[in-house]
Structure 1
Amino acid sequence: MVANEGAWHTCALQAERIIRDCADSLQHGRADVRDTLIQQVAGLGVQRATQGIDAVHSIRAGLLLFDIVFDALGKAMVNSPSAFDGFQAGVRTLQRGIGRRLEAGALGHDTYLLNTVREVNAATQRQLAREIHDHLGNHVSLALRRIELHELTWESRPDEVAARIGSVKDTLTESLGIIRDLVTQLRRADREGTLESAFTAFLESMEITPSKVRIQVNGSEEWAPQDVLDEVFLVVRECLRNSLAHAEAEHVLAAIDIAPYKLQALIEDDGRGFDVSAVAVAGKANGIASATERVELLGGTILFTSVPDAVGTRVTITIPLMDLPGDSVERAT
């Protein structure tokens, strides 16, 4: 948090308030924490979350502050052994001041994450609604129109009837395929078994052959939490669907590498490229926005690389799984 000037300023302010409470407790011999100041920390939790600062850094900063102030209180006790009551009050105030602030910050952080998840789910629902309207609705309307034309020409032009019936059948068959695709999306990764088996089941449900989509999962899934694996499955599945449905790719590769400290995923296709920035500006990037928010909620990054009128799109996902060895309290501050 030292690198973030705003976060560092708020840390210093909270530390100053805690130390001031400890000093008052030493003087009066009773624990005293000003709760009115703590209520402001919930807003800081939201602010830190929006800045991408994980709550663990606040915990480490609190632990570091506790060590520093506790040592100072201990030295004060050595210099004045008769002030034991003040020492006890100071330690209690220190613990309560830090603990209550961490609790308030965590509540604010959780509130932000919950609201973000709701926004992601709402965006997904809007995307599905648009898919139903734009694709399924158009296909069904077209099929109904052809049936109406068939009724008008049944007697006057019987030779055209067979061709139109076949066309209606093809349209309805395609509509059923769209319905099956949407239903598959709505079954939010009731992911059973490994990632690889989950992707295999998804491809089989979509009747996609292994020669068209190749899945590679390297490393042990035990290194990654289940919620991370679930979200990665959802994001990669959406990328696969986009490659096949929108880019009209002939071949797609999805490679997922799981290491003890990091998960990386790469999705590449040979379909039509697109202008990522233009799509976002045009408001047609719900899929990109949803994937980005899901990955960022896990503390990761996602990069879409594509060029209009060119072949292929690449999606790169990186998610940290835990802190690197040697990460310490001092490093966090």
Structure 2
Amino acid sequence: MPPAVRAEILDAYEQRLRTTGNAIFADPEARRQALCQANAVIDDVDRYGASGTAEMAPVATPFTLSVGRDRAQRGIHPVQSLRAATLLFEAALPPLIREYARGDADDGAVTANVAATLHRTIMARIETGALSYVGFLLERVFTSHLAERRRIGRELHDRVAHAIGVGLQHLDLHRIYQKRRSDRAEGKLDQAGRAMRDALSLTRALSEELRHSVGPAGLEDALRGYLKASVPSSVAITCTVTGDTRTVPQAIAEEIYLVLREAVRNALLHSGSGRLDVSVEVCGTALTAAVRDHGRGFTPSPQDLSGGGLLSMRERVELVGGSLSICPGPAGGTTVAICVPLSGESR
């Protein structure tokens, strides 16, 4: 392949990525990877193009596999990769045909062979990248679900088991005081009853969380139900919903519900705020949501975002192609903000 033809294809491809506003062009590393892939495509066509050979060498190299995973990490939607593939085909086909059909009597057959090989080698890389992209997302789903199970396990151990242990301790003390005919025996029995009722209440709350999901009534119904059941009466709460949350795809609504639930729980446990503001807005192209408290404020460090509940929240949002931010409010408190595109595009 003459260097001038290769340079012409790569320049035209990069120009098309730029003028169409493709997300791959906007990310320097993704753009570098795309040009490396384009070079490999040109090599394949150079090797097999004019002959019409059906069999090509496997394209599932470590680099090709890493591209899909890397784009998932960078939040680049597969739609952008498919569009980039189309742009590469459009940029490469005319120069390749001009190069291979030159002086060939059967230029129609040459053109067909070149186009077929170009199409096959591009789509082989798209397929390989898509598999690694999906594999990465499945890992993220597993990680998020595992984090949720661990959280519930901690709740059972730290709160439910503790309340039961306290209740049993009071029952043991009741028996001891009863044998001594102490006036304190009755008080210990009352304390045991309160501890057991606390444990029962906690168990019911966890059971409700496990059972509850976003059903046909939509995200708004699930969110209001959770707030009603879980926010104590001592905390003033506003919940503002704009747009029809029933139009949000089920998979997105479920993940966003879990993130909002975790944000509300964190605010109740850590902010010391007597007021929470929860908002959700659904428009044609995006879902935005926020949980704002008016407490002591919190600015997460990189370490805070690298593990635990905050990491799980961020991963759930990124899983559906969105972004999450946590920042202090202008007048104190903390705001957790979410934005998720609904048009099938990456952010």
* TM-score, normalised relative to structure 1: 0.84
Q: Following TM superposition, by how much is the alpha carbon of 1:124 offset from its aligned partner in structure 2, in angstroms?
A: 1.4
Distance 1:287 1:191 in 2: 24
Cα deviations by residue, 1:166-189 (Å, 9 ceiling, x for unpaired)? 211111111112112222222251
Q: 1:14 is matched with which residue?
A: 37
Name which of 284, 301, 305 aligns with 2:323.
301
Q: Residue 214 of structure 2 contacts residue 250 of structure 2 at CA under 8 Å; is this kept in 1?
A: no
Corresponding letter in the other structure for 1:108: S
Q: 1:102 is matched with which residue?
A: 126
Q: Following TM superposition, by how much is the alpha carbon of 1:102 offset from its aligned partner in structure 2, in angstroms?
A: 0.5
Q: 2:275 is matched with which residue?
A: 251
User: Given the superposition, is the C-alpha separation of residues 40 and 303 from structure 1 closer, same or farther in structure 2, using an over 3 Å criterion?
Assistant: closer
Q: Residue 213 of structure 1 contacts residue 251 of structure 1 at CA under 8 Å; is this kept in 2?
A: yes
Q: 1:290 is matched with which residue?
A: 312
Name which of 337, 340, 344 aligns with 1:316.
337
User: Given the superposition, is the C-alpha separation of residues 29 and 246 from structure 1 closer, same or farther in structure 2, using an over 3 Å criterion?
Assistant: closer
User: Given the superposition, is the C-alpha separation of residues 90 and 27 from structure 1 closer, same or farther in structure 2, using an over 3 Å criterion?
Assistant: closer
Q: 1:89 is matched with which residue?
A: 113
Question: May I ask how many residue pairs the two structures share in their alignment?
Answer: 322
User: Given the superposition, is the C-alpha separation of residues 321 and 12 from structure 1 closer, same or farther in structure 2, using an over 3 Å criterion?
Assistant: same
Are 2:214 and 1:214 equivalent residues in the alignment?
Answer: no
Corresponding letter in the other structure for 1:63: T
Alignment of 1:268-287 (within 5 A): 268-274=292-298, 276-277=300-301, 280=304, 286-287=308-309
Name which of 24, 47, 58 aligns with 2:70.
47
Distance 2:328 2:187 in 1: 40
Cα deviations by residue, 1:258-294 (Å, 9 ceiling, x for unpaired)? 121221111122345446339828x8x6221211110
Q: Following TM superposition, by how much is the alpha carbon of 1:90 offset from its aligned partner in structure 2, in angstroms?
A: 1.0
Corresponding letter in the other structure for 1:264: T
User: Given the superposition, is the C-alpha separation of residues 29 and 277 from structure 1 closer, same or farther in structure 2, using an over 3 Å criterion?
Assistant: closer
SS in 1 for 2:76: coil
User: Given the superposition, is the C-alpha separation of residues 37 and 148 from structure 1 closer, same or farther in structure 2, using an over 3 Å criterion?
Assistant: closer
* Greater Cα shift, 74-83 or 41-50: 74-83
Distance 2:143 2:245 in 1: 28
Cα deviations by residue, 1:78-120 (Å, 9 ceiling, x for unpaired)? 8645222221111111111111110110000000110111111
Distance 1:222 1:187 in 2: 19
Distance 1:313 1:32 in 2: 58
User: Given the superposition, is the C-alpha separation of residues 252 and 33 from structure 1 closer, same or farther in structure 2, using an over 3 Å criterion?
Assistant: same
Q: Residue 30 of structure 1 contacts residue 85 of structure 1 at CA under 8 Å; is this kept in 2?
A: no
Q: What is the identity percentage for the equivalent residue pairs of Structure 1 and Structure 2?
A: 28
Distance 1:278 1:2 in 2: 27
Distance 2:297 2:171 in 1: 37
Distance 1:61 1:278 in 2: 33
Q: Residue 60 of structure 2 contacts residue 125 of structure 2 at CA under 8 Å; is this kept in 1?
A: no
Distance 1:2 1:13 in 2: 13
Corresponding letter in the other structure for 2:80: H
SS in 2 for 1:314: strand
Unaligned ranges ≥5, structure 1: none
User: Given the superposition, is the C-alpha separation of residues 317 and 19 from structure 1 closer, same or farther in structure 2, using an over 3 Å criterion?
Assistant: same
Q: Residue 203 of structure 1 contacts residue 209 of structure 1 at CA under 8 Å; is this kept in 2?
A: no
Distance 1:271 1:165 in 2: 37
Q: 1:201 is matched with which residue?
A: 225
Q: 1:182 is matched with which residue?
A: 206
Distance 2:165 2:89 in 1: 68
User: Given the superposition, is the C-alpha separation of residues 278 and 11 from structure 1 closer, same or farther in structure 2, using an over 3 Å criterion?
Assistant: closer
User: Given the superposition, is the C-alpha separation of residues 169 and 275 from structure 1 closer, same or farther in structure 2, using an over 3 Å criterion?
Assistant: farther
* TM-score, normalised relative to structure 2: 0.81
Corresponding letter in the other structure for 2:337: T
Q: 2:4 is matched with which residue?
A: none
Cα deviations by residue, 1:40-78 (Å, 9 ceiling, x for unpaired)? 422221122223332222211111011122233454558
Distance 2:227 2:82 in 1: 43
Distance 1:37 1:278 in 2: 34
Name which of 76, 85, 88 aligns with 1:65.
88
Q: 1:161 is matched with which residue?
A: 185
Distance 2:248 2:201 in 1: 34
Q: Residue 120 of structure 1 contacts residue 293 of structure 1 at CA under 8 Å; is this kept in 2?
A: yes
Distance 2:52 2:309 in 1: 59
